Structure 1
Amino acid sequence: MDETTIYYRYDNGSVAKRVVAGAGEDIPVPDGATVITEEEYTAALAAIEEANEAQRQEEEAQHQAQVRADYDALRALGVPEETARRLTGYTGPDDPEES
């Protein structure tokens, strides 16, 4: 049976691909979608994945900064280094000049 792959871009910017068997009949386009080429789909998907990775890296950097701030606050209060590390999950250097 013949298969046809159709690529869509939705109004919200997301993309999808659909594999249809027996594509001899008209295939309805989902609401809010526009048919695009495979090249457009591939480029859009790559851009989405790149944006997702950039967002993940930004969130991780923010998390690490918060962990370090929490660790530094505990150390400033006199909490032993080992305890401060365990409580915060901080694994970096103790000396702020080393980071």
Structure 2
Amino acid sequence: MDLQDQLKNLFPDHTPSEVPEKVTESSVWLQDEPLLCKYEKRKGKPITIIEGYNGADSDFKQLAKEIKQLLSVGGSFKNEQIIIQGDYRDRIMEFLKEKGFSVKRVGG
């Protein structure tokens, strides 16, 4: 007896609903202007800054979360900027291009 049969025995009146398929495409809004990917040092430590997004803040926060999970590093979202700890410009730019964004490298 599998799990579905057990659930039917426990809840005979319940009809299972369709499970929605996961959306593989990103739901963030893409823009015409390129995102700016900068490198800075603050208090002697390297950081990567992504700015120039003109969509919704919630989409930009979701993008920040995805980047932090991809790189397994810390970071934050402040003042319409994504701040990532460390110099990861190349990997971030590659990730954003795969998502469909145009990215411009600023500085060094």
TM over 0.5: no
* Max Rg structure: 1
TM-score range (shorter-chain normalised) is under 0.3
